[in-house]
């Protein structure tokens, strides 16, 4: 299934995608958060939100909370889907690393046509997530039962990485670090300890690595199937 949305300027696509992803990660969708995510000024965000409101893409309530309208959500899911399909193609087929794939997909998402999108999905055998485990809209993805944050896993317990949320993709160096550490969806690890400052030390493929409190509180994991009850 390919989402069809009316054509908009890439800036509208970028903002709609950002609003969608902030809400997906459970982050308050206000102008300050959008400015932080996109690395632009508050006045620039304010002007763009006004334009999007006039276009019928967003609504702003009395508490300055921003939500996508039906049209805005259609646009956002189109862009998010193409970004995540592109990431999957760039990593699985072209063998790019996580960080490079994420940045390249940011360009591809604005130019992929529905026909090309469908062809990529067929070649990839219809994946339901991007390489980081985030759901591709329209694929029927369901969150694994019992999924928790890495921070919630007790010491000496095993886990399987399920999802690296979008929020971490925008932290400088975070994708490269997690990929190098082997914390990728489907990989199994063990929590070794949690330090007083909140750093979670895990073992993956026989190697101990430290995960910051910020990342550990956001990475989703589940129990290995062999130990689930």
Looking at CATH, the fold of the domain delimited by 10-73 is given as Arc Repressor Mutant, subunit A (1.10.10)
Residue 2 has pLDDT above 70, yes or no: no
Mean pLDDT is lowest, of 76-90, 199-213, 214-228, for 214-228
Which of 97, 86, 159 shows the shortest CA–CA distance to 123?
Answer: 86
- Selecting from 2.30.30.90, 3.40.250.10, 1.10.510.10, 3.30.1280.10, what CATH number does the domain 148-227 have? 2.30.30.90
* Residue 23: both structure tokens together: 């809400």
Query: Which DSSP string do the residues of the chain spell out, in sequence order?
Result: ---------HHHHHHHHHHHHHHHTT---SHHHHHHHHT--HHHHHHHHHHHHHTTSEEE-TT--EEE-HHHHHHHHHHHHHHHHHHHHHHHTS---HHHHHHHHHHHTTT--HHHHHHHHHHTT--SB-TTSPBPTTS---PPTT-EEGGGSPTT-EEEEEE--HHHHTSTTHHHHHHHHT--TT-EEEEEEE-TTSPEEEEETTEEEEE-HHHHTT-EEE--GGG--
First and final C-alpha spacing in the chain: 35
pLDDT classification of 142: cutoffs 50, 70, 90: confident
Query: What CA–CA distance (Å, rounded) separates 158 from 228?
Result: 10
Can you give the pLDDT at residue 5?
Answer: 55
Can you give the pLDDT at residue 7?
Answer: 66
Residues 103-139 pLDDT 10s: 999 999 999 999 999 999 999 999 999 999 999 999 9
10-73 with 148-227: one CATH topology? no
Can you give the pLDDT at residue 195?
Answer: 87
Residue 153 near residue 169, CB atoms below 8 Å: no
Can you give the pLDDT at residue 144?
Answer: 81
Residue 205 has pLDDT above 50, yes or no: yes
Query: Based on C-alpha coordinates, what's the Rg of the chain?
Result: 18
Residues 161-198 pLDDT 10s: 999 999 998 888 999 999 999 999 999 999 999 988 88
Residues 49-96 pLDDT 10s: 999 999 999 999 999 999 999 999 999 999 999 999 999 999 999 999
pLDDT classification of 227: cutoffs 50, 70, 90: very low
What pTM did the predictor assign? 0.88
Question: 110: which residues sit within 8 A by CB, 6+ positions away?
Answer: 10, 13, 79
Q: Where are the domains of the chain?
A: 10-73, 148-227
Residue 229 has pLDDT above 60, yes or no: no
């Amino acid at each position: 299934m390919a989402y069809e949305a009316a054509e908009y300027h890439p800036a509208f696509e970028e903002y709609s995608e950002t609003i969608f992803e902030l809400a997906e990660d459970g982050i308050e969708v206000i102008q300050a958060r959008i400015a932080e995510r996109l690395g632009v000024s508050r006045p620039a965000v304010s002007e763009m939100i006004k334009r999007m409101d006039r276009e019928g893409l967003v609504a702003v309530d009395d508490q300055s909370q921003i939500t996508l309208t039906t049209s805005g959500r259609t646009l956002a899911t189109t862009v998010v889907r193409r970004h995540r399909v592109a990431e999957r193609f760039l990593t699985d087929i072209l063998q790019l690393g996580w960080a490079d794939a994420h940045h390249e997909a940011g360009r591809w998402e604005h130019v992929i046509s529905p026909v090309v999108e469908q062809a990529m999905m067929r070649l990839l055998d219809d994946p339901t997530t991007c390489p980081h485990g985030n759901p591709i809209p329209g694929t029927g993805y369901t969150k694994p039962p019992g999924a928790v944050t890495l921070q919630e896993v007790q010491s000496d317990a095993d886990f399987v990485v399920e999802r690296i949320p979008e929020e971490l993709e925008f932290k400088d160096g975070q994708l490269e670090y997690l990929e190098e550490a082997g914390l990728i969806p489907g990989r199994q690890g063990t929590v070794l300890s949690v330090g007083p400052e909140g750093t979670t030390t895990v073992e993956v493929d026989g190697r101990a690595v430290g995960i910051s409190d910020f990342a550990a509180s956001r990475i989703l994991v589940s129990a290995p199937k062999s130990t689930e009850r």
